Amino acid sequence: MKLYFLRHAEAIDEADDAARRLTRRGEKEAREVGRFVKRAGIEFDAVYSSPLVRAKQTAEIVSEICGTGELEIADALLNETSQAQFDGWLKGLPEAKHVLLVGHAPTLADRVRQLLGIAAPEAFKLPKGGLACLETENRRTAALKFAVTPKLLGVQAD
């Protein structure tokens, strides 16, 4: 199984954190990630997103470009979810070849480091709009296949 960890793209600053929407640049970041995935020939069997607006928007844009199936909301992708709760949720996912998980900092990078066996937080970071692909057979350990950022995909500051 390949797990694709995507941090939501750039969002506006707003008092209501759950309602923060993507900026114009954030929408562009999500589109470029979607185009990259499509060019790579990756077809997601399942797409899961945090319930927060910016994550859902990011997942929707990428899914629309890639032509994937229905988006499922997963509280397990919220920052408040413990590592043990996330691990249980991940183990319970249906078998699939390619699964997109859209969430937030700092826990999304934490989940990647945990699967890779990396203890140091500074050893792997996931910027806004960053995508990391991990391959796992047991959903407890994984190997990093690739990681890309919006900057590597040519999204420049406005």
Alpha-carbon span 6 to 100, nearest angstrom: 7
Q: Answer for the pair 1, 115: CB distance below 8 angstroms, yes or no.
A: no
For the chain of 158 residues, list the mean pLDDT of each consecutive stretch of 10: 98 93 96 96 96 98 89 97 97 96 97 97 95 97 97 79
pTM for this one?
0.96
- Cis omega (within 30 of 0) on the bond before 106? yes
pLDDT computed for residue 67 by the predictor: 83
Q: Check: CATH 2.60.40.10 for 2-148?
A: no
Residue spans per domain, the chain = 2-148
| pLDDT at residue 69, as a whole number | 73
pLDDT on residue 157: 60
